[in-house]
Amino acid sequence: LKLLGLTAIEDRLQEGVPETIAMLQQAGLKVWVLTGDKKETAVNIGYACKLLDADTRLLEWHELRFAVKTTQRLAAEFVQKPEWGAALMKLASQCQSVLCCRVTPGQKADIVKLVRKHTKSITLSIGDGANDVNMIKTAHVGVGLVGVEGGQAVQNADFSLCQFRFLQRLLLVHGHWSYLRISVFLRYFLFKTCSFALVHIWFGLFNGFSSQSLYETWFIAFYTVFYTSNPILCVAFFEKDANAEDCLKYPELYLSGQKNELSSPVMMLMSLLYAVYSSLILFFIPCGVFFNTPFDFQTMSVTVAMAATFAATIEISLQTKHWTKFNIASVCVSVIMYFLCTKITHSERLFKRAQKDYYFIGMIKYILTYTNLYICNEFFLTNSSSCHIRSLSLSHHSHIDNTSEIMLIRYLFRWRSCHHCVCECASTGAADKAFIDPVVWLTALLTAWTAVLPSVTIHAFNVIRKGNDKHKVRAVNSIKYH
């Protein structure tokens, strides 16, 4: 026989595959490779993409090397017998990475089903060929790569990428930002809704739990639509705790989503308890101030409504870490919309047209111009906002004390930037203008402020009230004298 020629087929790895896999593993993700190639080729691919290294201990299942029929039979038994699948997943969960070779498209989907069945993990499948379609459709998230093997994978995927290395930005940047935005949205929505609604329960203690509402009808309709919707929408669009470069440089930031630190049941419970606490402040402080006074129900209603609006606006402002011009505009628009809509619904013109619907005539003007009510409103709004700031500052440091990875890395970012600014200012002779991290000082200041503010404000309110009483007594005596 004469050798006429030799044909070699090379399937090159795309650019950035080893770096991407290393970053995903550093972020806490477990990478599985499912391929239809033989074992030698699969192992070489594992070493080429840095999934395996020289120190990796390989655990091989030799019984699956006999024939394709044996492999298919055992794979079917894994699916049919739950104890076999549980044993396989128990072993695979202890491995740093898993490499499956000689698998068919159906077996790829079966492996994904095993992972979803026996673990609580969120699975992501990525492929570029028609043999990866079943696997992509079975996983929680399917990613299709645009390649030379056709577009079936892209057509059946949730996301489409041109190259494998783009996966790191999809997960580590946009995935982390999306998790942060959803978590902030859920916690704020729970706080806003519960603190707004629980006031009616405390009001029911004084009205025999009748059907009377504390708030004005128009305020209930506008509260969610106009007064508190714009800031949280901007947070849901633009919020981020680190820029894209930092997310790629420190993949450990993704661990917050892996451990569900920001929207865990404990965090949601804390938000609920915080809403209960805020509702108590919103109702009982003005109730105590207005008790045994000639102020009517409408004064109490508008005062609590104004406090609820400002408390929700302050809360979302304090939770916002990345401010843009849209965030600033949304907060300003929310405050302006409250006073504008309240001014319109409390106008005399609407009262003359429909007295049953617009019976809060002139209340907003009365509250803003009356001195004692202004001091009362300033008292519990300022106290509530200081409690917000203090709780956020203390929660920030409690996360650091608990050695949460994401909070620790954020703190390191802040410390390094501050240290860099201090050194730079000292070298230029402007050390007195150096930026110092204000979190610790802000926490101490607001803690003292919150402790002192109620007593000081009550004392000032009593002094003003006594001064008004003395003035009234003098006026009455002067009238009697004349």
In the predicted model, what is the mean pLDDT of residues 322-335? 91
Q: Does residue 167 register a pLDDT over 90?
A: yes
Residues of each domain in the chain carrying CATH 3.40.50.1000: 17-169
H, E, C per residue of 383-397 = HHHHHHHHHHHHHHH
Nearest to 218 by CA among 122, 85, 354: 354
In the predicted model, what is the mean pLDDT of residues 65-69? 38
The gap from C-alpha 135 to its chain's centroid, in whole angstroms, comes to 30
Lowest mean pLDDT across 88-102, 131-145, 165-179, 365-379: 365-379
What is the per-residue pLDDT across 362-386, written as a single tens digit (0 to 9) for each? 777 777 666 455 555 555 555 555 4
Supply 45's token pair: 């691919």
Half-sphere exposure of 18 (CA within 13 A, CB side): 11
Nearest to 312 by CA among 288, 273, 266, 279: 279
What is the per-residue pLDDT across 419-463, written as a single tens digit (0 to 9) for each? 544 444 444 443 333 333 444 444 444 444 444 444 455 455 555
What is the per-residue pLDDT across 240-287, written as a single tens digit (0 to 9) for each? 888 888 889 889 889 888 888 888 898 899 889 888 888 888 888 888
| Residue with more model confidence, 411 or 34 | 34
Supply 419's token pair: 């240290």
| Angle of helix 265-290 versus helix 176-197 axis, rounded to 10 | 30
Residue 360 phi/psi, 5° resolution? Answer: -90, 65
Nearest to 235 by CA among 144, 312, 126, 339: 312
pLDDT for position 112: 92
Q: Does residue 69 register a pLDDT over 50?
A: no
Lowest mean pLDDT across 17-31, 153-167, 317-331, 402-416: 402-416
Supply 149's token pair: 């093997």
Q: Does residue 359 register a pLDDT over 80?
A: no
**pTM, 2 dp:** 0.75
- 66 pLDDT band, cuts 50/70/90, is very low
Contacts 24+ apart (CB under 8 A), 128-135: 128/153, 129/153, 130/105, 131/36, 131/104, 131/105, 132/105, 132/108, 133/105, 134/105, 134/106, 134/108, 134/109, 135/34, 135/105, 135/108, 135/109, 135/111
Q: Does residue 140 register a pLDDT over 80?
A: yes
pLDDT for position 199: 92
pLDDT for position 366: 72
Q: Does residue 233 register a pLDDT over 80?
A: yes
| Residue with more model confidence, 64 or 352 | 352
Q: How far apart are the first and last CA of the chain?
A: 138
In the predicted model, what is the mean pLDDT of residues 8-24? 85
Distances (CA, A) of 64 to 23, 77, 102, 256, 403: 31, 13, 9, 38, 44
- 147 pLDDT band, cuts 50/70/90, is confident
Task: Report the chain's mean pLDDT, rounded to a whole number.
Answer: 76
pLDDT for position 328: 92
Alpha helices in 254-370 (DSSP H): 255-258, 265-290, 297-319, 325-345, 348-353, 363-369
What is the per-residue pLDDT across 100-135, written as a single tens digit (0 to 9) for each? 888 889 989 989 998 998 888 899 999 988 889 999
According to CATH, the topology of domain 17-169 is: Rossmann fold (3.40.50)
CB–CB of 230/327 below 8 Å?
A: no
CB–CB of 367/373 below 8 Å?
A: yes
In the predicted model, what is the mean pLDDT of residues 207-223? 88
Supply 136's token pair: 């992509």
